């Protein structure tokens, strides 16, 4: 049975007064969870939700991500008790977006909580392009769909934000340029992607940092991540020194950010460096970075299982590439790497992490070939190429075609595969991949493939330092010396 109204009013009034007093009379930040509890007791649900958000922000600043997410859930519970309508919908966007990205930061974007929060944000957002909160929501959710390689959905969201940015909203330009750059990069349109990434790192609005912090909850910082992908661009143009400078810029940018964006972006700069060092054949350096990635993720207090999984993935990628580079890999060791990598691919696929799938499947195909299973390798590589066709994620197609060529025993089929890989790499503007395919073709056919290898070498800087260039120069010199002796 309900208590008489006369018994309710004093309690609610007292609770509201206590909450008000805590906010007004405490030097510095009040005890926001206590303030929220008093507002909740008083039935002031909107005020309670606001206080829980402030509690979440305070917890996030001191690195307590789980606590921060709990307070956001409490805020959403309070908003559910507010009268339905546009005002409640608008209030719900920010805590839901924050919780989604805190969850994605800790657990990865495949989290069911993150997915539900992002989809709900899109339902709530409406179409008022004058609202910065709406634009932040659309840009943030676009970043999530990039991770899942849903390029069609990304394009829809970015077009809406583009329309608003054209009306003078420069605050969102870096995020928008980065997002378009990522879509172009995933599609294998590398020159276009580089232009977007360069604009991301240079075209910042006045007072950008101060303004964007109130709106930006995406774990990936556009500026830091653009530097990471510019490092990849420098690598495939055989400019290892330039790649290292871009990685340093990514780290410096990460150090300017708060928690959790700062640590998160620092770890992903490490992750990109692992990729760069592995592609450059610096396997010992890459292994040391894998250990650093795992150690730092634990020290930063980010989700242990997610970052352990990423560390395990990078470990098998480095070890697998090192085995293949040895020239005579041990089949027992390679078979073990195949088993581990297959399990890892299944896990990432289950959580919806799709952007790196072609890279993982390419290595798996190469390991299967080295393990004496070319038919199984071709099946895997065909699946990866079909995935690229279906999704438009074509950044690793040249390497997939090259790996597939190695699965053929018939000489002409193998040569045709190398030619397809080489020509695609040239069209996409990836000199390193072109050189690899030309080198494989020269080792297969010798003289008839010489001109292609010479052309590929000419597109590389003489001080590259990458092992493929040294190998290409050595085999060309050896071939010329043999020809002169005849």
- What's the full length of the chain, in residues? 486
Percent of residues, the chain, with pLDDT higher than 70: 83
On whether both 203 and 286 belong to a single domain, the answer is: no
Give the mean pLDDT of the chain: 84
> What mean pLDDT is predicted for residues 35-41?
86
Residue 158 lies in a domain: yes
Chain mean position to CA 160: 22
In sequence order, what are the residues at sequence separation of 6 or more whose Cβ sits closer than 8 angstroms to the Cβ of residue 229? 181, 182, 185, 193, 197, 272
Q: Best-predicted range by mean pLDDT among 22-36, 37-51, 129-143, 375-389?
A: 375-389
Is 320 in contact with 363 (CB distance < 8 Å)? yes
Instruction: Indicate the pLDDT class of residue 328, thresholds 50, 70 and 90.
Output: confident
On whether both 255 and 313 belong to a single domain, the answer is: yes
On whether both 231 and 307 belong to a single domain, the answer is: yes
* pLDDT score of 18: 56
The alpha carbon dihedral of 98, 99, 105, 108 has a sign of negative
CATH of the domain at 283: 1.25.40
* DSSP for residue 84: P
Give the pLDDT confidence of 157-214 residue by residue, as tens digits.
888 777 766 665 666 778 888 889 999 999 999 999 999 999 999 866 555 555 555 5
The alpha carbon dihedral of 25, 26, 28, 30 has a sign of negative
CA separation for the pair 195, 441 (Å, rounded) = 32
Q: Which residue has the higher pLDDT, 351 or 463?
A: 463
Q: Token digits for 189?
A: 């349109």
* DSSP for residue 474: H
**pLDDT of 8 higher than 60:** no
Instruction: Indicate the pLDDT class of residue 4, thresholds 50, 70 and 90.
Output: very low
Of 3-12, 228-237, 443-452, the one with minimum mean pLDDT is 3-12
Of 153-157, 192-196, 317-321, 471-475, the one with minimum mean pLDDT is 153-157
* pLDDT score of 211: 54
Residue 363 lies in a domain: no
Q: Which residue has the higher pLDDT, 302 or 116?
A: 116
Residue 187 lies in a domain: yes
Instruction: Indicate the number of domains in the chain.
Output: 3
Instruction: Give the count of alpha carbons within 13 A of 19, CB side only.
Output: 26
Of 88-102, 320-334, 442-456, the one with minimum mean pLDDT is 88-102
* pLDDT score of 3: 36
**pLDDT of 73 higher than 50:** yes
**pLDDT of 104 higher than 80:** no
On whether both 225 and 319 belong to a single domain, the answer is: yes
Question: For residue 281, how many other CB atoms are within 10 A of its CB?
Answer: 17
Of 151-160, 298-307, 311-320, the one with minimum mean pLDDT is 298-307
CA separation for the pair 10, 13 (Å, rounded) = 5
In sequence order, what are the residues at sequence separation of 6 or more whose Cβ sits closer than 8 angstroms to the Cβ of residue 65? 59, 102, 105, 106, 260, 301, 302
Residue 230 lies in a domain: yes
On whether both 203 and 121 belong to a single domain, the answer is: yes
pTM higher than 0.75 for the full model?
Answer: yes
* Long-range contacts from 131-137, C-beta under 8 angstroms, 24+ separation: 132/169, 132/171, 132/215, 133/90, 133/93, 133/94, 133/215, 134/93, 135/161, 135/164, 135/169, 135/172, 136/97, 136/172, 136/215, 136/216, 136/217, 137/93, 137/97
**pLDDT of 261 higher than 80:** no
Is 104 in contact with 144 (CB distance < 8 Å)? yes
Question: Which residue range forms the structural domain that includes residue 1?
Answer: 1-82
Is 107 in contact with 219 (CB distance < 8 Å)? no
On whether both 195 and 224 belong to a single domain, the answer is: no
Q: Best-predicted range by mean pLDDT among 64-68, 150-154, 267-271, 424-428?
A: 424-428
How many H-runs (helices) and E-runs (strands) does the chain carry? 24, 0
Q: What angle do CA 89, 90, 95 make, to 5 degrees?
A: 95
Residue 60 lies in a domain: yes
Q: Which residue has the higher pLDDT, 59 or 130?
A: 59
CA separation for the pair 398, 436 (Å, rounded) = 10
* pLDDT score of 2: 36
> What mean pLDDT is predicted for residues 48-62?
86
Residue 154 lies in a domain: yes
Instruction: Indicate the pLDDT class of residue 34, thresholds 50, 70 and 90.
Output: confident
Show which of 82, 104, 132 is a domain's final residue: 82
On whether both 227 and 207 belong to a single domain, the answer is: no
**pLDDT of 26 higher than 70:** no
**pLDDT of 342 higher than 90:** yes
Give the pLDDT confidence of 249-260 residue by residue, as tens digits.
999 988 888 777
Instruction: Indicate the pLDDT class of residue 443, thresholds 50, 70 and 90.
Output: very high
On whether both 256 and 270 belong to a single domain, the answer is: yes
Residue 46 lies in a domain: yes
Show which of 278, 293, 325 is a domain's final residue: 325
On whether both 241 and 308 belong to a single domain, the answer is: yes
Residue 293 lies in a domain: yes
* pLDDT score of 96: 87
Q: Which helix (H) or strand (E) holds 15?
A: helix 5-25
In sequence order, what are the residues at sequence separation of 6 or more whose Cβ sits closer than 8 angstroms to the Cβ of residue 235? 243, 276, 279, 280, 432
Show which of 159, 188, 217 is a domain's final residue: 217
Give the pLDDT confidence of 390-414 residue by residue, as tens digits.
999 999 999 999 999 999 999 999 9
Q: Is the peptide bond before 260 cis (omega within 30 degrees of 0)?
A: yes
* pLDDT score of 459: 92
Q: Token digits for 171?
A: 């605050």
CA separation for the pair 140, 103 (Å, rounded) = 13
* pLDDT score of 323: 94
**pLDDT of 303 higher than 50:** yes
On whether both 309 and 230 belong to a single domain, the answer is: yes
The alpha carbon dihedral of 104, 110, 113, 114 has a sign of positive
Instruction: Indicate the pLDDT class of residue 100, thresholds 50, 70 and 90.
Output: confident
On whether both 65 and 48 belong to a single domain, the answer is: yes
Question: For residue 193, how many other CB atoms are within 10 A of its CB?
Answer: 26
On whether both 265 and 205 belong to a single domain, the answer is: no
CA separation for the pair 29, 52 (Å, rounded) = 13
**pLDDT of 233 higher than 90:** yes
Listed residue (441, 443, 418, 421) closest to 430, CA to CA: 421
Question: For residue 153, how many other CB atoms are within 10 A of its CB?
Answer: 16
* pLDDT score of 167: 62
């Amino acid at each position: 049975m309900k208590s008489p109204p006369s018994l309710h009013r004093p309690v609610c009034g007292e609770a509201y007064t206590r909450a008000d007093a805590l906010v007004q009379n405490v030097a510095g930040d009040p005890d926001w969870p206590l303030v929220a509890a008093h507002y909740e007791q008083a039935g002031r649900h909107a005020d309670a939700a606001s206080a829980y958000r402030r509690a979440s922000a305070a917890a996030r600043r001191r690195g307590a991500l789980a606590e921060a997410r709990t307070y956001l859930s409490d805020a959403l519970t309070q908003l559910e008790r507010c009268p339905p309508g546009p005002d409640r919908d608008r209030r719900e966007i920010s805590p839901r977006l924050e919780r989604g990205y805190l969850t994605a930061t800790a657990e990865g974007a495949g989290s069911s909580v993150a997915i539900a929060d992002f989809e709900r944000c899109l339902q709530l957002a409406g179409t008022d392009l004058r609202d910065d909160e709406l634009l932040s929501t659309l840009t943030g959710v676009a970043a999530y769909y990039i991770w899942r390689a849903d390029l069609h959905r990304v394009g829809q969201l970015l077009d809406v934000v583009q329309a608003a940015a054209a009306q003078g909203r420069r605050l969102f330009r870096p995020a928008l340029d980065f997002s378009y750059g990522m879509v172009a990069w995933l599609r294998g349109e590398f020159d276009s992607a580089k232009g977007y990434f360069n604009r991301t790192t240079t075209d910042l609005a006045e007072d950008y940092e101060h303004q964007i912090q109130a709106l930006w909850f995406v774990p990936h910082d556009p500026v830091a991540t653009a530097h990471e992908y510019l490092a990849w661009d420098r690598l495939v143009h055989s400019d290892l020194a330039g790649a290292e400078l871009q990685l340093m810029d990514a780290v410096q940018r990460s150090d300017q950010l708060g928690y959790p964006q700062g640590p998160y972006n620092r770890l992903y700069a490490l992750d990109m460096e692992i990729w760069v060092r592995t592609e450059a054949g610096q396997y010992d350096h890459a292994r040391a970075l894998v250990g650093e990635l795992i150690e730092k993720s634990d020290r930063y207090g980010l989700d242990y299982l997610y970052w352990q999984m990423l560390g395990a993935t990078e470990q098998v990628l480095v070890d697998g590439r090192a085995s293949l580079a040895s020239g005579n890999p041990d089949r027992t060791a390679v078979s073990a790497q195949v088993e581990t990598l297959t399990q890892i691919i299944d896990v990432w696929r289950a959580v919806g992490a799709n952007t790196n799938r072609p890279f993982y499947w390419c290595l798996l195909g190469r390991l299967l070939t080295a393990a004496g299973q070319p038919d199984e390798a071709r099946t895997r590589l065909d699946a990866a190429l079909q995935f690229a066709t279906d999704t438009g994620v074509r950044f690793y197609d040249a390497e997939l075609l090259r790996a597939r060529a190695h699965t053929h025993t018939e000489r002409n089929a193998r040569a045709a595969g190398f030619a397809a890989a080489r020509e695609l790499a040239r069209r996409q503007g990836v000199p390193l991949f072109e050189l690899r395919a030309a080198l494989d073709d020269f080792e297969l056919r010798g003289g008839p493939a010489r001109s292609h290898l010479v052309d590929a070498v000419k597109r590389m800087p003489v001080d590259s330092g990458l092992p493929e260039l040294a190998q290409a120069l050595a085999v060309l010199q050896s071939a010329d010396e043999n020809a002169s002796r005849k």
